[in-house]
Amino acid sequence: MAKYRFFLLLSVLLMLIAAATYAAKDEATVEGEWSLEDLDAVDTSGKGLDGTPVGDPEIVDGVVGSALLFDGIDDGVHLPNDVGINTIAAPDFYSDRTIACYFNCTDVDIADHKQTIYEEGGATRGFNLYVFDGEVYIGAWNRAEYNWDGAWPSVSVESGVWYHVALVLRDAKDEVEADKFEMWLNGELVASEDGGALYGHGAAIAIGKVNGDTVFHDEVISGTDVHYFGGSVDEFIVYNSAFDESDFAEYAEPVVSVEPQDKFTTTWAAIKAQRTVQ
């Protein structure tokens, strides 16, 4: 009987560990939140990773309050490197990540360059989100350590429409495994790809442009200040936990709901206040 109880307890513990491994949003893992309400590009997460606008982005109406409008020519926001986002030292790596924002692309059909919503890393390791030829893409790759060539799922989008897009790395290890890299759009899981963990990568980070080398679905980019995004970006976040459907529901509400904008803004403010208290 004692042996049976031991194995029962061990099974319960393993189940709890597994549940923790697949944990959803954890506020303790927030690494950056940029509401993009104004040109200061302040990080409201408390990590102090304030952005630096470049070019001449404009303040416009967003999904939640204001947003930044990028002209697609020379506008963007540079973000600082940080151990929580990109400069972790081996043998440690990032096993869970959520990168998400609202975006509204002025012209999604541009096909002579990628419109970069966000990028971090370089030719060897990194993440990105971008619009190209009528589709929004998310990307991730780790072409060293265990040789993950990368994945770039995409979905069709329309010009002049607000969307909430998210990249999720879920319980990844330093090997390529099935269903570790996910794409979410407006609160729905639209793709699940093979993937693995991301090791540290010290290249530059930016919203609205490529601020260093990156890898798209069809080419490797070596350059800085290229592939600018034309349109608006709002409420950009980076977490080192993997969001689930219930987490994305609150973000999806304003782009799938017919409720008045003011009502949602009030609700969102209450949610933010509650997070601050926790």
What confidence tens digit (pLDDT) does each residue in 244-255 have?
A: 999 999 999 999
Per-residue pLDDT at 53 exceeds 70: yes
Find out whether 34 and 44 touch, Cβ atoms under 8 Å: yes
Can you give the residue ranges of every domain in the chain?
A: 25-277
Regarding predicted confidence, which is higher, 262 or 212?
A: 212
Q: Which two tokens stand for residue 248?
A: 């994305």
CATH architecture of 25-277: Sandwich (2.60)
Give percent of the chain above pLDDT 90: 81
pLDDT of residue 47: 95
Secondary structure percentages of the chain, helix, strand, coil, to 5: 20, 40, 40
Give the DSSP H or E segment for 255: helix 245-256
The arithmetic mean of pLDDT across residues 144-153, rounded, is 98
Q: How far is CA 217 from CA 35, 44, 72, 198, in A?
A: 28, 32, 20, 17
- The rounded mean pLDDT for the chain is 88
Query: For residue range 9-30, what is the model confidence (pLDDT) as tens digits?
Result: 444 343 333 334 445 999 999 9
Q: What is the pLDDT of residue 62?
A: 97
Does the structure show a pLDDT above 60 at 68? yes
Helix (H, G, I), strand (E, B) or coil at 72: coil
